Structure 1
Amino acid sequence: MPVTRMPRVPPHKMSGPVSSEDPRWLGFLEAQPEATPFHHPAWSRALAQTYRFRPLVFLQTGASGAVVAGMPLLEVPGPMRRSRLMSLPFTDSCPPLATDVGGLRELTGNLLRWRREARAGQLIVHGALAPQPDVRVVTRAVRHVLPLAASGDEVLGRLKGSPLPRAIRKAQREGVEATVSQAHEDLELFYRLHLQTRRRLGVPVQPRRFLERIWTHLIDQGLGFLVLATYQSQPIAAALFLAWNGNVIYKFGASDRRHWELRPNNLVMWTAIDWACRRGYRQLDFGRSELDNEGLRDFKRRWGAMELPLRYSYVAARPPRSTSPVTKRALAALIQTSPPAVCRALGELLYGRVMSFA
Structure 2
Amino acid sequence: MNAVSVVAADPVTDPRWGGLAAGPAGSLFTSPPWISAVCRSYGFTPQARIALDAAGEPIGGFAWVAVEDVRGRRLSSLPFSDRADPLVTDPPVWTALLDAAKTGDDQLTLRCLDDSAALADPRLRAIGAAAWHGTPLDAGIDALHRRISGTSRRNIAAAGRAGVHVEVRDDLDAVRAFHRLHVGLRKHKYRLLAQPLEFFENIWREFHEGGRCVTLLATVGGEVIAGAMFLEWNDVIYYKFGASVPEHLRARPNDAVYWTGIQRGVERGMRLVDWGLSDLDQPGLVGFKRKWASDERRIVTLRSGAWLQAPEQEEFGRELGELTRLLTDASVPDEITARAGALLYRYFC
Please report the TM-score for the alignment, with normalisation by the length of structure 1: 0.85
The alignment status of 1:248 with 2:244, answered yes or no, reads: no
Distance verdict in 2 for CA 1:330–1:309, change over 3 Å:
farther
**Counterpart amino acid of residue 176 in structure 1:** V
**Residue 335 of structure 1: aligned partner:** 328
Higher mean C-alpha displacement, 82-91 vs 293-302? 82-91
For 1:61-140, list aligned pairs within 5 A: 61-78=52-69, 83-98=73-88, 100-101=89-90, 104-116=91-103, 119=104, 121-127=106-112, 128=116, 129-140=118-129
Distance verdict in 2 for CA 1:222–1:75, change over 3 Å:
farther
Higher mean C-alpha displacement, 333-342 vs 254-263? 333-342
| Structure 2 unaligned regions, length at least 5 | none
The alignment status of 1:14 with 2:27, answered yes or no, reads: no
Distance verdict in 2 for CA 1:315–1:139, change over 3 Å:
same
Question: C-alpha separation between the residues in 2 aligned to 1:62 and 1:231?
Answer: 57
**Residue 272 of structure 1: aligned partner:** 261
**Residue 189 of structure 1: aligned partner:** 177
Contact residue 182 and residue 220 of structure 1 kept, 8 A: no
Deviations 1:144-168 (CA, angstroms, capped at 9, x unpaired)? 12222333432221135x2111111
Contact residue 53 and residue 59 of structure 2 kept, 8 A: yes
Shift of 1:132: 3.0
Shift of 1:330: 8.5
**Residue 349 of structure 1: aligned partner:** 343
Contact residue 11 and residue 17 of structure 2 kept, 8 A: no
The alignment status of 1:169 with 2:157, answered yes or no, reads: yes
Which residue, 8, 11, 30 being the options, matches 1:39? 30
Deviations 1:308-344 (CA, angstroms, capped at 9, x unpaired)? 1111221111499999999869945751423214422
Higher mean C-alpha displacement, 185-194 vs 339-348? 339-348
Distance verdict in 2 for CA 1:248–1:319, change over 3 Å:
farther
Higher mean C-alpha displacement, 137-146 vs 291-300? 137-146
Shift of 1:244: 1.2
**Counterpart amino acid of residue 115 in structure 1:** K
Higher mean C-alpha displacement, 300-309 vs 246-255? 300-309
Distance verdict in 2 for CA 1:141–1:307, change over 3 Å:
same
Shift of 1:272: 0.5
Secondary structure of the structure 2 residue equivalent to 1:134: coil
Give the alignment's Cα RMSD to 1 decimal.
2.8
Secondary structure of the structure 2 residue equivalent to 1:107: helix
Shift of 1:223: 2.9
Contact residue 20 and residue 26 of structure 2 kept, 8 A: no
**Residue 192 of structure 2: aligned partner:** 203
| Structure 1 unaligned regions, length at least 5 | 1-8
Secondary structure of the structure 2 residue equivalent to 1:126: strand
Contact residue 206 and residue 351 of structure 1 kept, 8 A: yes
Secondary structure of the structure 1 residue equivalent to 2:337: helix
Contact residue 327 and residue 340 of structure 2 kept, 8 A: no
Equivalenced residue count is 339
Shift of 1:179: 2.3
Contact residue 153 and residue 274 of structure 1 kept, 8 A: no
Distance verdict in 2 for CA 1:158–1:250, change over 3 Å:
same
**Counterpart amino acid of residue 198 in structure 2:** R
Question: C-alpha separation between the residues in 2 aligned to 1:222 and 1:22?
Answer: 24
Distance verdict in 2 for CA 1:41–1:95, change over 3 Å:
same
For 1:234-245, list aligned pairs within 5 A: 234-245=223-234
Which residue, 252, 259, 270 being the options, matches 1:263? 252
**Residue 291 of structure 1: aligned partner:** 280
**Residue 145 of structure 1: aligned partner:** 134
**Residue 4 of structure 1: aligned partner:** none
Contact residue 11 and residue 18 of structure 2 kept, 8 A: no
Please report the TM-score for the alignment, with normalisation by the length of structure 2: 0.87
Question: C-alpha separation between the residues in 1 aligned to 2:156 and 2:26?
Answer: 31
Distance verdict in 2 for CA 1:305–1:16, change over 3 Å:
same
Distance verdict in 2 for CA 1:51–1:327, change over 3 Å:
closer
